[in-house]
């Protein structure tokens, strides 16, 4: 995986921009991140399992609201598994079929060993959250499988240490040629270079190649990409 610095230097070397002042490093960084977003949109449309990942969330009895993973894409939770603290008990935390059933669980399921369910929740103060049912909850750990965003190559703070963007890696490495070509097109257009249209055509061809690659992608041990029925499941019981 190439870093932001490596991607920027490849563009500058290919277009002989090392001593350029009209097109700045900041310009190129912005266009790289824009290109990542364009590639990400295609990937999420055609094969979102490219970005599937998991995280863990410790939960406590009596607490029923938890934040989504910080890098979740469009609140797309694939599966949640509950483990108790000793990992002796596990179950899938299914989405609650209806808010009526969820409310009834809050009222009647008050024991410490209740099977958990969940629903998306979005309050003005807390934003997007996972709402567990029953609200009495239980202690343990949630393993959350979800679809994440592509990494944006920007400065960020991790454990109070500032990570410089130049050292961050692009995590769509299979399609770096498309990302680079998008950036080159922007460079040409900014300079009024007549090669801009030719660059745009190559960019579109690389996009077609990316679409073809993603369309042929299949999960392990399966012959086809499963259809996304999340919309229908979400509407169940409404």
Residues 59 and 140 in one domain: yes
Structure confidence by residue, pLDDT tens digits, 8-21: 999 999 999 988 88
Residues 14 and 65 in one domain: no
How many Å from the N-terminal Cα to the C-terminal Cα in the chain?
Answer: 44
Residues 186 and 223 in one domain: yes
pLDDT of residue 157: 57
Q: Is residue 236 part of a domain?
A: no
Is a pLDDT exceeding 70 seen at residue 233? Answer: no
Is a pLDDT exceeding 60 seen at residue 225? Answer: no
Residues 6+ apart with CB under 8 A from 31: 182, 183, 186, 187
Residues 198 and 84 in one domain: no
pLDDT of residue 85: 80
Q: What is the Cα–Cα distance from 84 to 183, expressed in whole angstroms? A: 49
pLDDT of residue 65: 96
pLDDT of residue 112: 75
Residues 95 and 59 in one domain: yes
Q: Is residue 222 part of a domain?
A: yes
pLDDT of residue 108: 84
Q: Is residue 160 part of a domain?
A: yes
Q: Is residue 28 part of a domain?
A: yes
- Please check whether residue 26 is in contact with residue 33, taking contact to mean a CB–CB distance below 8 angstroms: no
Q: Which residue segment(s) compose the domain that 176 sits in?
A: 4-48+150-231
Structure confidence by residue, pLDDT tens digits, 103-141: 898 888 877 788 999 999 999 998 999 999 999 889 999
Mean pLDDT value of segment 160-169: 74
pLDDT of residue 231: 44
Q: What is the Cα–Cα distance from 145 to 114, expressed in whole angstroms? A: 21
Q: How many domains does the chain have?
A: 2
Mean pLDDT value of segment 74-89: 90
pLDDT of residue 86: 76
When pLDDT is cut at 50, 70 and 90, the band that residue 223 belongs to is: very low
pLDDT of residue 73: 95
Residues 44 and 156 in one domain: yes
Whole-angstrom CA distances from 21 to 18, 68, 81, 183 are 9, 42, 53, 16
Residues 141 and 155 in one domain: no
Residues 6+ apart with CB under 8 A from 219: 49, 225, 226
Q: Which of 130, 148, 166 is the last residue of a domain?
A: 148
pLDDT of residue 238: 37
- Please, how many CA atoms are within 13 Å of residue 10, restricted to the half-sphere of its CB? 15
Q: Which of 111, 127, 148 is the last residue of a domain?
A: 148
The DSSP symbol for 79 reads: E
Helix axes 25-46, 176-191, angle to 10 degrees: 130
φ/ψ of 32, rounded to 5, equals -65, -45
Mean pLDDT value of segment 171-181: 96
Residues 16 and 73 in one domain: no
Q: Is residue 238 part of a domain?
A: no
Q: What is the Cα–Cα distance from 236 to 98, expressed in whole angstroms? A: 7
Mean pLDDT value of segment 218-225: 53
Residues 55 and 144 in one domain: yes
Q: Is residue 155 part of a domain?
A: yes
Residues 38 and 121 in one domain: no
Give alpha helix (H) positions in the chain: 4-14, 25-46, 99-108, 176-191, 196-215, 230-235
For the chain, the average pLDDT equals: 88
Q: Which of 107, 124, 148 is the last residue of a domain?
A: 148
Q: Is residue 237 part of a domain?
A: no
Residues 207 and 137 in one domain: no
Residues 35 and 83 in one domain: no
Structure confidence by residue, pLDDT tens digits, 15-66: 999 888 899 999 999 999 999 999 999 999 999 999 999 999 999 999 999 9
To the nearest 5 percent, what fractions of the chain are helix, strand and coil?
A: 40, 25, 35
Q: Is residue 136 part of a domain?
A: yes
pLDDT of residue 155: 64
């Amino acid at each position: 995986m190439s870093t932001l610095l490596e991607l920027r230097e490849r563009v500058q070397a290919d277009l002989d921009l090392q001593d350029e002042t009209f097109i700045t490093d900041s310009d190129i960084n912005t266009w790289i991140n824009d290109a990542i977003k364009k590639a990400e949109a295609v990937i999420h449309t055609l094969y979102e399992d490219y970005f599937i990942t998991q995280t863990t969330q410790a939960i406590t009895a009596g607490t029923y609201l938890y934040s989504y993973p910080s890098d979740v894409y469009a609140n797309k939770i694939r599966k949640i598994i509950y483990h108790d603290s000793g990992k002796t008990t596990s179950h899938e935390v299914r989405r609650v079929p209806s808010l009526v059933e969820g409310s009834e669980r809050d009222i009647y399921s008050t024991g410490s060993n209740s099977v958990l369910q969940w629903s998306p929740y979005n309050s003005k103060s807390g934003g997007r959250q996972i709402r567990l049912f029953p609200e009495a909850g239980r202690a343990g750990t949630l393993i959350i499988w979800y679809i994440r965003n592509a990494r944006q190559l920007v400065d960020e703070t991790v454990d109070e240490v500032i990570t410089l963007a130049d050292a961050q890696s692009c995590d769509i490495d299979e399609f770096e040629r498309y990302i680079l070509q998008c950036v080159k097109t922007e460079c040409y257009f900014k300079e009024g270079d007549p090669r801009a249209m030719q660059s745009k055509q190559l960019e579109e061809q690389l996009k077609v190649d990316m679409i073809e690659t993603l369309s042929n992608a299949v999960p392990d041990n399966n012959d086809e990409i499963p259809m996304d029925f999340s919309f229908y499941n979400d509407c169940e019981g409404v």
